[in-house]
Chain A
Amino acid sequence: MSIQLFRVDERLIHGQVVIGWGRRLHPRRFVVVDDDLAASEWEQELYQLAVDDQAEVVFLGIDGARAALPDLLGDAVPTILLTRNLAAMGRLAADELMAGEEVNLGGLHPGEGRRAVRGWLNLGSEDLGWIHRLTEAGVTVEARDLPDSAPVKMSEILSG
């Protein structure tokens, strides 16, 4: 399986992903699924510079990512796929397109209507709704900021 990590992280490609997860998974490709970024070349360049020559960075809108997902899952390039919010990941996984996969929640910061589960994990009712939809679409949801961190229990994520 080439996509080693599906991650929801508002900061998308940043130090914790490139270094913290990158040193464990050795990705040769990052796929960023975001409609706004897919349409903004200058912002894409900034994210590409964060990776340097370590890996390829591909920017796709949600529809494009859904179309490309079967090929991405089937090729042999070690890949980390990122969305900046649960809604985007949920839309990507609709119709059981990601059934059997695991989604990592890694960086959702405080915001209006959000409850703090951890400093790096803040969830509102809309986020919880998307977690349910992901689960119903056959996706396992887990939360940890770094690969060696203890995962946050689902009961803690869903309570409140």
Chain B
Amino acid sequence: MTNAVVTDPVRGIIVAHGTMAAGLVEAATRVSGVEEGVLVAISNDGLGPEELRDAILSDASGGSALVFTDLAAGSCTLAARICCSQGAPLAVVSGVNLAMLLDFLFHRELPLDDLVEHVVSRGKEGVRALATPKRTDTGRADSAHVDPAVPR
């Protein structure tokens, strides 16, 4: 884990199938209020492998970037990993979700390695099965059935 001082916040690039990336950028921007341009969306629609890599490298130029992809086994992840292996200052995290992106937006000043660990952890925490409180005759939730995962 690096202790390097980050001079510029890490930029975020989302690479995914269809309109997923654009949808996530819009959602994350709306929820967080972060200015536009902090997160960039790339769809693999109509792009061959080389064009996709070029698109990632184009958006990644000028500093460190964290590339979020959808499927670990997908063409988006493969393209991002090839860019990484060619020396671009990138890190790649697959399985992107909104919780992960929001965490990224509020911790972009962290060194890239630390930021990766942070967003992966938050992304995983965002995946949980939630029980529904059981309504009693009084109209109040039965506390015995309140979801223990929800913090009080």
Seen from chain A, the residues whose Cβ lies within 8 Å of a Cβ on chain B are 10-11, 13-15, 18-19, 42-43, 46-47, 49-52, 84, 109-111, 119
B49 touches A15 (CB 8 A): no
A15 touches B75 (CB 8 A): yes
- Which residues of B are found within 8 Å of A109, using beta-carbon distances? 46-48, 51
- Which residues of B are found within 8 Å of A15, using beta-carbon distances? 17, 71, 73-75
Bound: A65/B74 CA distance, A: 25
B82 touches A14 (CB 8 A): no
Some 7 contacts from A to B, beta carbons below 8 A apart, are A11-B75, A13-B73, A15-B17, A50-B73, A50-B74, A109-B47, A111-B48
Seen from chain B, the residues whose Cβ lies within 8 Å of a Cβ on chain A are 17, 45-49, 51, 71-75, 77-78, 81-82, 85
Q: For the complex formed, measure the closest distance between the CB of A18 and the CB atoms of chain B, giving whole angstroms.
A: 5
Bound: A132/B45 CA distance, A: 28
A43-B82, A46-B82 known; A19+B73 contact, CB < 8 A: yes
Smallest CB gap from A19: residue in B: B73
Q: How many A-B residue pairs have CB under 8 A?
A: 45
Contacts A15-B73, A84-B49 known; 4 new A-B pairs at CB < 8 A: A15-B75, A19-B71, A51-B73, A109-B47
Smallest CB gap from B73: residue in A: A50
A52 touches B85 (CB 8 A): no
B77 touches A50 (CB 8 A): yes
What are the nearest 10 A-B pairs in CB distance?
A15-B74, A14-B75, A109-B48, A50-B73, A11-B75, A15-B71, A10-B48, A18-B73, A46-B81, A14-B74
B46 touches A50 (CB 8 A): no
- Which residues of B are found within 8 Å of A11, using beta-carbon distances? 48-49, 75, 78
A109-B51, A111-B48, A119-B45 known; A14+B81 contact, CB < 8 A: no
A50 touches B48 (CB 8 A): no
Smallest CB gap from B50: residue in A: A10
Smallest CB gap from B45: residue in A: A119
Bound: A59/B36 CA distance, A: 43
Bound: A15/B75 CA distance, A: 7
Contact of A47 among B46, B71, B78 (CB under 8 A): B78
Bound: A155/B85 CA distance, A: 43
Bound: A2/B77 CA distance, A: 29
A10 touches B45 (CB 8 A): no
- Which residues of B are found within 8 Å of A10, using beta-carbon distances? 48-49
Smallest CB gap from B77: residue in A: A50
- Which residues of A are found within 8 Å of B71, using beta-carbon distances? 15, 19
A50 touches B78 (CB 8 A): yes
Q: For the complex formed, measure the closest distance between the CB of B17 and the CB atoms of chain A, giving whole angstroms.
A: 7
